Amino acid sequence: MTPETISWKDDHVVMIDQRILPHKVNYVVCRSHYDVAKAIKNLVIRGAPAIGCAAAMGMALGALRIKGKGTAIFLKELKKIGGVLVRSRPTAVNLSWAINRMLKLAQENAHQTVEELQQTLVAESLKILAEDIDTNRRMGLNGQSLINDGATILTHCNAGALATGGYGTALGVIRAAVEAGKRVKVIADETRPFLQGSRLTAFELTCDDIPVTLITDNMAGHVMKCGYVDAVIVGADRIAANGDTANKIGTYMVSVLAKEHAIPFYVAAPLSTIDLSIKNGGLIPIEERDQKEVTHLSGKIIAPQQVAALNFAFDVTPAANVTAFITEEGIIRPPYQEAFSSLFNSR
């Protein structure tokens, strides 16, 4: 089984260090919301739902440090804590979703004492983690119906247990298909530059004895053309109201290739990843990271000293390239704008 991504221990948070997997299994201890913000920024913890769980626990840690003041000041301080956490990464909407949920709960319980509010927030962060795992299992059950026995699924980045509270979104669908007795093989894109595919997806699937074959990102077109891929399943960081989907850099390229080869392209994501306040993908903030992640590999330079590099961490797949969204509430097919509105209106 894949080791736990994140957990709450007494008065601190423990995260598996995803920067050094699979060679070393090490844990990072966070004692404050500053530690959590740093861990999110430095990719100790990554993946949209896992970032949401970490942010919730970061809010709880921050809340525990607000001592001996009245509720009004507590709520003001909590807002500031949310401000620190929300600035850690821009693309995954689960981050602000979790922070806003924690802030709203605190405001709704403004009649409580500071000590009671602190416990309410710790409990809520644990609830968010438990709900995430449950959501992934429901998503898996819904999505596995789309996978045929004997299918080979290509995935990009890591949308597995490590990217979530546990079980995974895209990999959760694969796990559910395996649990339903289907023989499933996975092709994992290595996912340059952070190598979430080779380091994390291949690690997770190997832990679970699910057959996985690694390819470099630029092999995806060839393997599709040769008929090795029956479906693509990826996760998402933010889904706009029209269905345009931000996910790990390279996902857009995979979606274009899937369309060219008439291969179904599925996005598995919880409803918390859908951001109805954003009309289309062009408005989704795309994180740019340090050039060194491209010019260096394991600390060693792999390009000429002064060369400039672009390092966009995400790209946007147009809704037209998405065959369907797999969510905890079911499979959503186009037209997405209408489907999302009726789903959210009925909740």
Q: Yes or no: say if 321 and 255 are a contact pair by the CB < 8 Å rule.
A: yes
Q: Which of residues 74-133 bind ligand MRU (CB under 6 A)?
A: 92
Burial of 240 per CB tally in 10 Å (0-12, 13-18, 19+): buried
326 membership: H or E segment, kind and range: strand 324-327
- Tell me: does residue 164 bind ligand MRU (CB under 6 A): yes
Q: What x/- string results for residues 244 through 283 when contact with ligand MRU is judged by CB under 6 A?
A: ---xx-----------------------------------
Q: What angle do CA 222, 227, 232 make, to 5 degrees?
A: 80
CB 239 to ligand MRU: min, Å: 11
The contact pattern for ligand MRU, residues 285-324, with x = CB under 6 A and - = no contact, is: ----------------------------x-----------
Among 47, 62, 143, 281, binds ligand MRU (CB under 6 A): 47
Contact pick of 190, 237, 275, 328 for ligand MRU (by CB under 6 A): 237
Q: Which is nearer to ligand MRU, 121 or 133 (CB)?
A: 133
- Residue 47 or 58 having the CB closest to ligand MRU: 47
Does residue 159 bind ligand MRU (CB under 6 A)?
A: yes
Of 35, 132, 189, 237, which is the active-site residue?
237
Task: Say whether residue 229 binds ligand MRU (CB under 6 A).
Answer: no
Separation CA 148–CA 87 (nearest Å): 42
Is the CB of 37 or the CB of 48 nearer to ligand MRU? 48
Residue number with the smallest Cβ distance to ligand MRU:
235
Specify the stretch interacting with ligand MRU by CB under 6 A; choose among 105-113, 140-148, 156-164, 215-223. 156-164
Contact set for ligand MRU, span 27-46 (CB under 6 A): 46
117: which 2 tokens?
A: 């509010």
Q: Which is nearer to ligand MRU, 77 or 134 (CB)?
A: 134
Retrieve residue 273's tokens: 């990843």
Q: CA 46 to CA 164: how far, in whole Å?
A: 8
CB of 48 to ligand MRU, least distance (A): 4
Residues 6+ apart with CB under 8 A from 344: 271, 274, 276
Residue 236 binds ligand MRU, judged by CB under 6 A: yes
DSSP line for 213-231: EEE-GGGHHHHHHTT--SE
Q: Nearer Cβ to ligand MRU, position 125 or 317? A: 317
Q: How far apart are CA 160 and CA 205, in angstroms?
A: 9
Q: CA 286 to CA 311: how far, in whole Å?
A: 10
Distance CA 254, CA 259 (A): 9
Q: Is the peptide bond before 335 cis (omega within 30 degrees of 0)?
A: yes
Does 22 sit behind a cis peptide bond, omega within 30 degrees of 0 on the bond before it?
yes
CB 71 within 8 Å of CB 82 = no
Burial code (b: 16+ CB inside 10 Å, e: under 16) for 56-81 equals bbbbbbbbbebeeeebeebbebbeeb
132 catalytic per annotation? no
Residue with Cβ nearer ligand MRU (122 or 188) = 188
69 vs 292 by CB, closer to ligand MRU: 292
* Min CB(306)–ligand MRU separation in Å: 26
CB of 89 to ligand MRU, least distance (A): 7
Backbone angles phi and psi of 332, in degrees to 5 = -110, 125
Contact residue for ligand MRU among 163, 188, 233, 343 (CB under 6 A): 163
Report if residue 235 touches ligand MRU, rule: CB under 6 A: yes
DSSP H/E element including 185: strand 185-189
Both tokens of 85, joined, read 């956490």
Q: In the complex, which residues of this chain contact ligand MRU (CB under 6 A)?
A: 46-49, 92, 157, 159, 163-164, 169, 196, 235-237, 247-248, 313
Q: Please identify every residue annotated as catalytic.
A: 237
